[in-house]
Copies of this chain bind each other. A is one copy, B any other.
Amino acid sequence: MHRIYHVSKTGSDRNPGTEAAPFLTIQRAADAAQAGDRVVVHGGVYREWVRPRNGGMSDSCRIVYEAAAGEHAVIKGSERVTGWSRVAGNVWKVSLDCGFFGDFNPYTHPVKGDWIVAPTDCEVHVGEVYLNGRSFYEAASLEEVMEPARRYASRLGTWGGRREEILRPEDTVYQWCCETEGDITTIYANFQGADPNEEETEINVRKACFFPERTGVNYITVRGFEMMHAATSWAPPTAMQEGLLGPNWARGWVIEDNDIHDSKCSGISIGKEGSTGENEFTKYHRKPGYQYQMEAVFRARNIGWARERVGSHVIRGNVIHDCGQNGIVGHLGCVFSEIYGNEIYNIAVKQEFYGHEIAGIKLHAAIDVQILHNYIHNCTLGTWLDWQAQGTRVSGNIYDGNNRDLMVEVTHGPYLVDNNIFTSPYAFDNAAQGGAYVHNLCCGFTNSYPVPDRATPYHLPHSTEVLGTAPTYGFDDRWYQNIFVGGEEEGRSYGTALYDGAPVSMEE
């Protein structure tokens, strides 16, 4: 009774979708597939935003989307662009009619929203230019594009004012900028000698590669794809959290064995939908941002935030890298999920924008979430558990080469951090309470401080029901059998410096 639909670059959307007569687009299969069906995508590049129309009925009656065995199926949020004309030297330009973009033009849409800190003197857009798969850096002006300066470290705000290196300085001279007049968007880019009409030159145009338009599309499996080039927006806990890939407020997704990269902001989102708040602090400034965030929790309860409807996702075996904000992000929607066996790296290392809410894995309200056996490296921050990390376990992960490895903030626990290896010089910030740290190897220095001036919710055990809110008095943790190799930053004493100096706790 359940069907298998095939999708192939040689197919047609007027076909029945059989193996012999496959569909051409994944979306065509997504429109047809019902609970219990399977969509097999054969090798090739699919430039689509797949918006699953239906969901499965239960964990055992799913809709499965998978790359055909042994074939390389790629979904791209970008289009290839030719027709570049040379401006001068290495700089070329192309002009695109807004009709090219449809409803959404990434080149008029800046990275902004709640908790964005920088840049303030110019705009960074969610658009992006890629030359043979490698992303460029956005410049503030055509002048900069004409004479691009190499960048070595973040020029923006950083955590504690520390220096944050850019991973590949040599790439930073590939710069671009854009301008939109009336219906025409023009992109200028410095290709450093390459001919953009000959090489594979792409720009991102879609918000996502695989993401339902409506909420409540449950029990989808996504397996074995490469997905890249999404023009995702900034994803704070007080807005719709877009991802290159994600369930958009649903239950029971399995995301496994994919290679996900080059999302402008977040790779996988298992986070908040929009009706519970859309950057109200940035828009209205009526209340502090964390007040809007708290209201989002209560609003979410009233639209059905509960184990029955949201969360319980499995994210395993994926490689997630080279995203601007997060490898995995999720406020509220992440509850009861398991994230294991993933490799996550190069998150936010281009340093094009800065705000809070940046990490390899950034979760709020990670109730009963399990983060196990992941390898998280070369991120500005490895993992950040913020607000309502209750019943959360971080176990068996390897953190390496991150600017910081772990932060746990304004939560009351209980949460468990065990059997991890933290090798970075700055191991973790503990601005929380109710944690147990057991059997970790910790090579860097650590920091603990209270946050007495902000109340955050706590919940009934294993539930999204709110039981109360309380400030973080701090320090009520348990430490068993950890190995601290040592580690202290120059001129910075243990456990007090950041708290005294950093105003972050006041505004977030």
Task: Give me the interface of A with B, judged by CB distance under 8 Å.
Answer: 34, 54, 58, 99, 102-103, 214-216, 274-275, 283-284, 291, 294-295, 298-299, 302-304, 306-309, 452-453, 455, 460-463, 465-471
- Could you tell me if B302 and A465 are in contact, using CB atoms closer than 8 angstroms? yes
Please report the C-alpha to C-alpha distance between residue A299 and residue B303 in the assembled complex, in whole angstroms. Answer: 9
A215 nearest in chain B by CB position: B275
CB within 8 Å for A461 and B302 given contacts A291-B468, A468-B291: no
**Which one, B54, B99, B304, B463, contacts A308 given CB within 8 A?**
B463
Please report the C-alpha to C-alpha distance between residue A103 and residue B101 in the assembled complex, in whole angstroms. Answer: 11
A296 nearest in chain B by CB position: B468
Q: Please state the number of chain copies in the assembly.
A: 4
Known A58-B461, A308-B463; 8 more pairs at CB < 8 Å: A214-B275, A291-B470, A295-B467, A298-B465, A298-B466, A302-B465, A453-B453, A469-B469
- Could you tell me if A274 and B58 are in contact, using CB atoms closer than 8 angstroms? no
- Could you tell me if A216 and B453 are in contact, using CB atoms closer than 8 angstroms? no
**Which one, B102, B463, B468, contacts A295 given CB within 8 A?**
B468
**Which one, B216, B283, B452, contacts A275 given CB within 8 A?**
B216
Please report the C-alpha to C-alpha distance between residue A453 and residue B452 in the assembled complex, in whole angstroms. Answer: 8
- Could you tell me if B214 and A294 are in contact, using CB atoms closer than 8 angstroms? no
For A275, the chain B residues whose CB sits under 8 A away are 214-216
For A291, the chain B residues whose CB sits under 8 A away are 468, 470
- Could you tell me if A468 and B298 are in contact, using CB atoms closer than 8 angstroms? yes
User: Closest Cβ of chain B: how far from A434's Cβ, in Å?
Assistant: 13
For A303, the chain B residues whose CB sits under 8 A away are 302-304
**Which one, B54, B103, B468, B470, contacts A102 given CB within 8 A?**
B103
User: Closest Cβ of chain B: how far from A51's Cβ, in Å?
Assistant: 11
User: Closest Cβ of chain B: how far from A299's Cβ, in Å?
Assistant: 8
Please report the C-alpha to C-alpha distance between residue A363 and residue B465 in the assembled complex, in whole angstroms. Answer: 26
CB within 8 Å for A298 and B467 given contacts A102-B102, A303-B304, A308-B460: yes
